[in-house]
Amino acid sequence: MILSMPHRCGKGIQSISDGPVAFAFGFSSNSIEETFGGTLLKDDNLYLVGDIRLDNRTEITAALDPAECFGANVTDGQIVLAAYRRWGTSCVDHFYGDFTFAVWDIRTKTLFCARDHFGVKPLCLYSSDHIFAFASEPKALIALTEVPEDINEERICVHFFPELLLGDKTITMYRSVKRLEPAHRVLVSRESIHKEHYWKLDPYREAEYSSEKEYFDAFKDVFLRSVENRLRGKSKIGCTLSGGLDSSSIACASRDILEKQSRLPLFTYSAVFDSVPSADERHWIDAALHDRQGVVSRKVHPDQRSPLSDLDAMIWLHDGPFYGANYFIHLDIYRAARDDGVKIILDGEDGDTTVSHGIDFLLQLVQSGSWQIFAEECEAVVRAFDNSRTYASKTGMLKAHGIPYLEYLAKTGQWIKYFHALRHIHRLFGYSRKQLLIDHGLKALISYGKKSSVFDTGIMDVGLAAKYRVKDKLQEIDNRYRSSRFPAHLRQSHYDRLTSGALPYTLECLDRMASYYDIEVRHPFCDARLAEFCLSVPPHLKLRNGVSRYILRESLKGILPEEIRTRSGKGDLADVLRQGLKRFESSRILGLTEYLSNNAKHFMNQERLKETLGDFKNGGGQDKDTVITNIWQAAVLDRWMKNGNSKQPGGKGSQYSAVE
């Protein structure tokens, strides 16, 4: 099993066994040199294997038996074993950090597994009547002769409609292999397998402070603590730096903390795009740490090669087709970090989700009938945003948040509120009252409870979509995650996004790509205590006068440069993929239908694919983002089918084309 993941065992392998139970672990550089990370231990009647970084070591050890001797060099794995002896399977309730681990208890003949709150560290499972197995990646489980290698066709549906990931945290490309969800624990005995949540966010909890300054100070404290916890280690430290608010906040905070700890320099890694001006952020990148000492800035140029250059390696790493067409940019960054000897990188992944843009505030305004304030806030957002590709238009925001509430009022028969809202929408947004009544009143009533018969499967085979109820599942996803729902809870939108399946999937992908270059990637915004605090903050502190993530901006005054702190919008990476495919892969893409494998044809609508290739060639037809996405999906799926679903590429950094 472990040998199927060579990128995770570059510094050696250890294994232990007890009768029918065997553990193995592959060691990375951090596992060898640090008190955190990969560990394989035997202590009395307990075996432990895991990848563990605990952020609250002091609190845990203080609560444990004083007879336990915890010196400065005690490892996080040893603390986990001591906590298990003290609290049993409830030990994980006391942990904060990034971890996945398993404990074999010889006395009770039980196996206990757990995964961290956000799913930063991966864990996959297989179980049958005869065996229970776990590993960091599906490929290690498939290496067992007992584990069927049957492809999961439902996961191929996800390849064509990535939105389905929002609702499924367990799916993999193999029917027999499941991912353990974040914040879950599993207890396995000969008689049963019991899985449960050990931590959940509470959308009804509200932080209560006497002033806005106290909220800002509290955010600053928990954010800086999250960053500092992720700077732990003896290795060189790096940060991704895009010039956006999230990565800049982490990079600036990291530099200041490392300076206090006398651990500079900080390495920063940024992607710049000479040939794609709409995506190039070097002005903001340079502004983020301008005139700050102790920073080594590196820039990579992903637009100078094909987006499909490392496709074989990527498919192998991700155990099949993957969602993330721009992940080739991350590989360039991790390569550069490896060349610098950096072993730990902090990343700003999903700060948007954790802090929130404040959509709940808009929902509360329309639900409370505060249409004047809603219109003013919409206008302020439009003024604040500098990116024309966002939803930031007054009409667009009305359609996203105001019109759904109007239709909700019609469907539920709340006609007094309905006509009150209609009158204000007419006055503030210029809509015809008659047309509003027809389109978003009468039609909403007529269509209430009916399912739309129209569903465009795109380039995916129509029969495959019907077999796995893709249309119905997408409607469920849209209802929960992508549409404004009423009655709206004060934090419903924020909560739904924090608990969706998209974030753990992304974290798993980043973990695999970083480990390919012997790097550990850490995510300060994916911190349980930070998420708990941000969710509990009143919505008006997340969006204020058109400024999203208001609390972060106010809290980090003096840490973030003003030019970064007050910016809005960001570069458009979609153009990088589009131009890269046109520049490097056009001839091969246009011939895609000629050499498409029979297995790939089984899952695709070939006529629609031909239409898409025509649009790619002529620049017309469908939306250009849809065209590029569909082409990328077809090329990746076809390459996987041709290679075989578990083929390892020839070597790290090798150059491959998806459409040879």
Residues 584 and 612 occupy one common structural domain? yes
d(CA 333, CA 315): 18
| Per-residue pLDDT band at 659 (split at 50, 70, 90) | very low
What is the span of the domain harbouring residue 61? 2-123+180-197
d(CA 537, CA 541): 7
**CATH number of the domain within which 75 lies:** 3.60.20.10
Closest residue by Cα to residue 400 from 438, 443, 455, 357:
357
Average pLDDT of the chain to the nearest whole number = 91
Q: What are phi and psi of 134, to 5 degrees?
A: -140, 155
Q: Is 603 domain-assigned? A: yes
Residues 468 and 603 occupy one common structural domain? no
Mean pLDDT computed over 94-110: 97
Q: Is 654 domain-assigned? A: no
Q: Is 111 domain-assigned? A: yes
Beta bridge partners of 557: 560
The lowest-confidence range among 210-224, 593-607, 611-625 is 611-625
Residues 362 and 467 occupy one common structural domain? yes
Residues 578 and 556 occupy one common structural domain? no
Contact partners, residue 353, CB within 8 Å, separation at least 6: 497, 498, 503, 525
Neighbours of 145 (CB within 10 A): 7
At 133 the pLDDT is: 97
DSSP string, 304-353: GS-TTTTHHHHHHHTTS--S-TTHHHHHHHHHHHHHTTEEEEE--TTHHH
Q: Is 205 domain-assigned? A: no
At 654 the pLDDT is: 30
**CATH number of the domain within which 522 lies:** 3.40.50.620
Mean pLDDT computed over 100-123: 97
Q: Is 175 domain-assigned? A: no
Closest residue by Cα to residue 2 from 20, 21, 22, 29:
22
516 close to 317: Cβ distance less than 8 angstroms: yes
118 close to 182: Cβ distance less than 8 angstroms: yes
Residue 280 annotated as binding?
no
More confident residue, 571 or 549: 549
241 close to 247: Cβ distance less than 8 angstroms: yes
551 close to 544: Cβ distance less than 8 angstroms: no
pLDDT at 451 over 70: no
Residues 193 and 52 occupy one common structural domain? yes
Mean pLDDT computed over 522-531: 98
- Of the chain, the percentage scoring pLDDT greater than 70 comes to 93
Residues 469 and 538 occupy one common structural domain? no
* Total number of domains in the chain: 4
Q: Is 10 domain-assigned? A: yes
Residues 512 and 410 occupy one common structural domain? no
Residues 334 and 234 occupy one common structural domain? yes
User: Given 511, 533, 565, which residue is the final one in a domain?
Assistant: 565
User: Given 565, 597, 612, which residue is the final one in a domain?
Assistant: 565
Residues 363 and 342 occupy one common structural domain? no
Measured CA to CA in angstroms, residue 651 lies from 6, 140, 312, 468 at distances of 11, 18, 10, 36
**pTM for this one?**
0.93
Residues 362 and 504 occupy one common structural domain? no
Question: pLDDT of 282-304, one tens digit each?
Answer: 999 999 998 889 999 999 999 99
pLDDT at 447 over 90: no
User: Given 443, 468, 490, which residue is the final one in a domain?
Assistant: 490
At 142 the pLDDT is: 95
At 653 the pLDDT is: 34
Residues 584 and 470 occupy one common structural domain? no
- For residues 39-71, one letter each, b for 16 or more C-beta atoms within 10 angstroms of the residue's C-beta and e for the rest, the string is bbbeeeebbbbbbbbbbbbeebbeebeeeeebe
Residues 336 and 224 occupy one common structural domain? yes
The token duo for 125 is 């499972």
Q: Is 140 domain-assigned? A: no
d(CA 266, CA 340): 11
Mean pLDDT computed over 591-616: 91
At 73 the pLDDT is: 83
Q: Is 137 domain-assigned? A: no
